[in-house]
Amino acid sequence: MGSKKVIVTGGAGFIGSAVARHLVLDDDAEVVVVDKMTYAANRANLAQAEATGRCRLVVEDICDQSVMTELVATEQPDQILHLAAESHVDRSISGPRDFIETNVIGTYSMLEAARSYWTGLPEGDAKDAFRFLHVSTDEVYGSLGKDGLFHETTPYDPSSPYSSSKAASDHLAKAWFRTYGLPVVVSNCSNNYGPYHFPEKLIPLVILNALEGKTLPVYGDGSNIRDWLYVEDHARALSLIATKGRLGETYNVGGRNERTNLQVVETICDELDRIVPAATPRRELIKFVTDRPGHDHRYAIDATKLETELGWKAQENFDTGLRKTVQWYLDNEAWWMPLRKSVYSGERLGLAEPQKT
């Protein structure tokens, strides 16, 4: 048997492109990326994977079910890794509609396309081995208090339009396993960071604002806690879960790296001051701004199941991963400068104005 063929939806985005790179470079797989190329996508994210000749981009909308059904039937993948989504909580507050369409309807459309293909396969190895991995977030579990961790059995309690649309899509994925027997596995991961992260999210936004001497906005009092995972550790986890995860199961993915938002911002300031000192310490650029509506206080993942059952372990801790990330942004101005100039220049999003239809 040759190397496996994988459809990666959302593969021109941040995590999807890390998954595509991992699959072609480390797993010797053939990858077909399906991506609508929204503001969050970037062809440059795929340059390294495409250069191998084993990664192709198909520009399509996952909500188009007939196109997806035909695409899956034509490509005959061994696995579908479903990452395409609207992913930014603040944008979901300003404009929830795209989140419902892509995250809920789009997931439905991918599940049906996969079911149509899988049902038509003859009984045998290819049918037995086929997997649909639905990639989700720990935000579906809601907010933790001071103590405790999210387990795979934690009840869903999402707070934002983003996390509630992802929760809905997780339920669809599980239902397609229970009702139709589609070989589905679900993963729920904590906050990712690393190279090619679109500069609307906290870590890249702060790195670039700090480099340019601009204000560093911190929501509320900065005490909200996130559990950070380096994106390449997530990509390795997803490949492993898709191949070895038990059908119908959920696997939590997280790095046991809890930090308050203020700690994250201060660490970035200190790291930049160390590598490229400015006239004054960059911590002086920190400004506390109005909090995000419905801002979850704390997320923290228990990844024991993934670690013990599948043998995964994060290779980076927050300090090593952040150092790599800061250095990547310093080395890759050609990637982020056009995004800052023409796609998103750092304005505040998500202050809950009603959406115009």
> How far, rounded to the nearest angstrom, does the alpha carbon of residue 62 sit from its chain's CA centroid?
16
CA distance 38 to 16: 13
Report which secondary-structure segment, H or E, holds 219.
Answer: strand 216-219
Q: How many other CB atoms are there within 10 angstroms of residue 61's CB atom? A: 18
3 in Cβ contact with 31 (< 8 Å): no
Span interacting with ligand NAD, options 85-93, 257-265, 277-285, 349-357, rule CB under 6 A: 85-93
Nearest Cα neighbor of 46 from 60, 56, 36, 58 is 56
Out of 30, 35, 78, 227, name the contact with ligand NAD by CB under 6 A.
35
Kindly state the smallest distance separating residue 83's Cβ from ligand NAD, in Å.
4
Contact with ligand NAD (CB under 6 A) among 24, 144, 189, 205: 189
Task: Measure CA of the first residue to CA of the last residue in the chain; give whole Å.
Answer: 51
Let me know if 162 is a catalytic residue: yes
Binding range to ligand NAD, per CB under 6 A, among 77-85, 170-178, 301-309, 336-344 = 77-85
Query: Quick one: which of 108, 130, 198, 251 contacts ligand NAD (CB under 6 A)?
Result: 198
Residue type (1 letter), 141: Y
According to the binding rule CB under 6 A, does residue 191 interact with ligand NAD? yes
12 binds ligand NAD (CB under 6 A): yes
Amino acid at 65: Q
Rounded to whole angstroms, the Cα distance separating 344 from 337 reads 10
DSSP 286: E
Q: Is 101 a catalytic residue?
A: no
Stretch that binds ligand NAD, among 9-17, 300-308, 321-329, 342-350 (CB under 6 A): 9-17
Question: Which residue of the chain is nearest ligand NAD when measured via CB?
Answer: 13
Closest separation in Å from C-beta 159 to ligand NAD: 15
Q: Which residues are part of the catalytic machinery?
A: 138-139, 162
- Residue ranges binding ligand NAD (CB under 6 A): 9-10, 12-16, 35-38, 40-41, 61-63, 83-87, 102, 106, 135-137, 166, 189, 191-192, 198
